[in-house]
């Protein structure tokens, strides 16, 4: 039963101190004075230990979660150190539940956890205080050096024959003075300083109150967790300690430290929650702008590959009709009729873009749609065409992917009509095991006269190939034509 109240120091009951400090074989032990209400005392001690530990365990868990969510925020990058401090302090607070008075090993483990936790706190504080350029090396050097001196001092004292209870007591007090006290004070100042440097003054109004709570809580922990510790026969621990605090105020030190943990958790969580909300809002606006940019590019691509190509085709028909009107009026009349129909269809397409930016989804399968496109191309350009299909369709392409393939084919055929000076075009659709290939080849002048670095044509085709997870390859030589190969996985 003594184990349960070993570190639940300084509890009062009906105005009396119910714990006193005694020196046992294995160190400082708090024992309950004889009172009739022993069960109530033990329950109170257990509640205090649980509250104290729970407060810092929640601090560790919350900051660990926030550190993973907000890694891009500089003020949150050090939270893993604060989380480690919270977990260590929780285990120390719960030590009455797992550290037995008769176990020397567990007593040393408690002391090492306490020193390690305060080393993490000091490192966290230094990283908020020191500039980014010098942060990693100097912070770990300072905190590691102090921790190393502390541990070496423990080893030397024990080897020199200093009693175990004195080494445990002095080691705890030195850890509080040398690590927890400067860690809390520097953290209170450095966190606010870093927030001003990284968050910006325009957003400080949103988190100013929460940062102030965190700073005050860290300062309070520096006082009640660093400066005020167990009583010891040397200054200042002989007059400023947790027993003196109990006698003067009647408040257990574990309760105050637990409240400090709650306040630190609240301030950190609220501060980063506000910052993350602001960042998420900014990201949503940025993503919305990106969507608008992509939509503009898509509209430009659709207009270039669809409507502009149709207008160009109508222009070719009108030009052909102009040349035929004197010698072949019937042919000219037919071409004029085709041009009028094409322009009427273009007008409908423009209206559809105005009222429905998604445009028309292709109802035809690839073979039917490409065959119609090639027939229209032959009629409008009078070039010799050939359409070949190899293999059988797997039927794995959706309407949107078919639309991109149709537009790539349309752009390629238009380039042939504009620049290639070709006489013959062949379109081959191959259904392979894992992908389909669309091969468009001509017998024109090749790449030497193609404007590969100008305009939207080739760039749009490559962009569309990327949108269908495909690969676009162009093989050409001067005066030997060009072959365009589009490979699209199912």
Q: Strands 12-13, 16-17: parallel, antiparallel or unpaired by DSSP? A: antiparallel
Cα of first residue to Cα of last residue in the chain, in angstroms, is 71
**What average pLDDT score do residues 427-439 get?**
91
Question: Which of 131-145, 200-214, 272-286 is most confident?
Answer: 200-214
Rounded to whole angstroms, how far apart are CA atoms 293 and 84?
Answer: 44
- Domains recognised in the chain with CATH numbers: 46-280 (1.20.1070), 365-490 (3.30.565.10)
- Percent of the chain clearing pLDDT 70 (strictly above): 76
Q: What is the pLDDT of residues 332-349, one digit of tens each?
A: 778 788 888 878 877 777
pTM: 0.56
Mean confidence (pLDDT) of the chain: 79
Burial class of residue 398 (count of CB atoms within 10 Å of its CB; 0-12, 13-18, 19+): exposed
Give the integer Cα–Cα distance in Å for 247 and 255: 15
- Residue pair 8/40 in contact (Cβ under 8 Å)? The answer is no
pLDDT confidence of residue 11: 44
Task: Give the distance between the most distant pair of CA atoms in the chain.
Answer: 127
Backbone dihedral angles phi then psi of residue 385, each to the nearest 5 degrees:
-130, 155
Model confidence band, residue 24 (pLDDT cutoffs 50, 70, 90): very low
Name the one residue in this structure whose structure tokens are 């705890």. Answer: 172
Inter-residue contact 221 to 260 (CB < 8 Å): yes
Give the single-character DSSP code of 25: T
Per residue in 366-394, pLDDT (tens digit) is 898 899 888 877 766 667 889 999 988 87
Mean pLDDT score, 231-236:
90
Rounded Cα–Cα distance for residues 237 and 4 (Å): 24
Q: Do β-strands 384-390 and 424-431 pair in parallel, antiparallel, or remain unpaired?
A: parallel
Vertex 218 angle, CA 213 and 219, to 5° = 100
How many Cα atoms within 13 Å fall on the side-chain side of residue 145?
5
Q: Residue 232 has which token pair?
A: 């010891």
Q: Where are the alpha helices (DSSP H) in 70-133?
A: 79-93, 95-98, 104-129
pLDDT beyond 70 at 166? yes
Residue 111 has pLDDT above 50, yes or no: yes
Dist. CA 67–CA 121, nearest whole Å: 16
**pLDDT band per the 50, 70, 90 thresholds, residue 186:** very high
Alpha carbons 210 and 439: distance in angstroms, whole number: 64
Q: Which pLDDT band, with edges at 50, 70 and 90, does 5 fall under?
A: very low
Distance in angstroms (rounded) separating the CA atoms of residues 351 and 183 = 68
pLDDT given for residue 51 in this prediction: 95
Q: Which residue has the higher pLDDT, 229 or 79?
A: 229
Cβ 60 vs Cβ 84: under 8 Å: yes
Q: With beta carbons less than 8 A apart as the criterion, state whether 355 and 363 touch.
A: no
pLDDT beyond 50 at 25: no
Angle separating helix axes 181-198 and 201-221, nearest 10 degrees: 180
Q: Which of 132, 128, 139 is nearest to 192 (CA)?
A: 128
8 A C-beta contact, residue 107 and residue 168: yes
pLDDT of the residue at 354: 63
Under DSSP, is residue 382 helix (H, G, I), strand (E, B) or coil? coil
Measured distance CA(271)–CA(281) in Å, rounded:
16
Contact 310, 302 (CB under 8 A): no
User: What is the predicted pLDDT for the residue at 370?
Assistant: 92
pLDDT at 264: 96
Percent of the chain with pLDDT over 90: 32
Tell me, what's the pLDDT at 88?
96
367/30: higher pLDDT: 367
- Residue 111: name the closest of 186, 205, 7 by CA: 7
pLDDT of res. 22: 42
Q: What is the pLDDT of residue 388?
A: 93
Q: What is the pLDDT of residue 145?
A: 87
What does the pLDDT average to over 240-250?
91
- pLDDT digits over 88-99, tens only? 999 999 988 886
Low-confidence winner among 222-231, 257-266, 322-331 (lowest mean pLDDT): 322-331
- Compute the distance between CA of residue 150 and CA of residue 435 in angstroms, rounded to an integer: 67
- Runs of H (alpha helix) within 356-389: 366-381
Q: Give the pLDDT band of residue 467 (cuts 50, 70, 90).
A: confident
In this structure, what token pair is assigned to residue 367?
């073979």
Find the helix or strand (DSSP H, E) in which 191 lies: helix 181-198
Dihedral of the alpha carbons of 402, 407, 408, 414, in degrees to the nearest 10:
150
């Amino acid at each position: 039963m003594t184990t349960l109240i070993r570190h639940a120091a300084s509890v009062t009951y009906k105005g009396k101190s119910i714990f006193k400090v005694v020196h046992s074989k294995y160190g400082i032990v708090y024992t309950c004075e004889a009172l009739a209400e022993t069960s109530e005392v033990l329950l109170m001690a257990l509640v205090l230990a649980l509250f104290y530990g729970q407060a810092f365990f929640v601090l560790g868990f919350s900051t660990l979660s926030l550190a993973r969510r907000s890694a891009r925020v500089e003020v949150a990058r050090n939270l893993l150190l604060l989380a480690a401090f919270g977990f260590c302090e929780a285990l120390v607070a719960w030590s009455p539940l797992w550290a037995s008075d008769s176990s020397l090993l567990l007593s040393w483990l408690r002391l090492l956890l306490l020193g390690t936790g305060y080393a993490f706190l000091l490192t966290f504080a230094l990283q908020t205080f020191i500039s980014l350029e010098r942060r990693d090396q100097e912070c770990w050097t300072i905190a590691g050096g102090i921790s190393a001196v502390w541990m070496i001092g423990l080893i030397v004292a024990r080897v020199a024959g200093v009693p175990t209870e004195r080494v445990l007591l002095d080691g705890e007090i030195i850890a509080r003075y040398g690590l927890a006290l400067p860690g809390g004070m520097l953290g209170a100042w450095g966190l606010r300083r870093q927030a001003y440097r990284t968050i910006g003054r325009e957003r400080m109004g949103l988190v100013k109150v929460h940062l102030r709570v965190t700073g005050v809580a860290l300062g309070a922990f520096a006082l009640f967790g660093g400066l005020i510790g167990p009583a010891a026969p040397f200054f200042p621990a002989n007059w400023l300690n947790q027993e003196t605090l109990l006698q003067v105020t009647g408040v257990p030190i574990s309760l105050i430290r637990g409240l400090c943990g709650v306040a630190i958790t609240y301030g950190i969580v609220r501060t980063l929650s506000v910052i993350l909300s602001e960042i998420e809002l900014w990201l949503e606006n940025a993503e919305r702008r990106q969507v608008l940019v992509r939509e503009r590019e898509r509209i430009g691509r659709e207009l270039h590959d669809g409507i502009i190509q149709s207008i160009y085709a109508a222009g070719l028909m009108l030009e052909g009709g102009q040349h035929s009107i004197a010698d072949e009026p019937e042919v000219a009349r037919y071409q004029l009729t085709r041009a009028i129909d094409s322009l009427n269809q273009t007008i409908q397409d423009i209206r559809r873009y105005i009222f429905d930016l998604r445009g028309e989804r292709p109802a035809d399968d690839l073979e039917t749609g490409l065959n119609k496109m090639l027939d229209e191309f032959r009629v409008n350009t009078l070039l010799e065409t050939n359409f070949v299909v190899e293999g059988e369709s797997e039927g794995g392409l959706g309407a949107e992917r078919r639309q991109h393939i149709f537009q790539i084919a349309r752009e390629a055929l238009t380039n042939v009509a504009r620049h290639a000076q070709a006489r013959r075009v062949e379109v081959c659709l191959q259904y392979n095991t894992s992908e389909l290939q669309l091969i468009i080849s001509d017998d024109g002048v090749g790449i030497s006269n193609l404007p590969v670095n100008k305009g939207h044509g080739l760039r749009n085709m490559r962009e569309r190939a990327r949108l269908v997870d495909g690969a676009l390859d162009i093989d050409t030589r001067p005066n030997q034509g060009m072959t365009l190969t589009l490979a699209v996985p199912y």
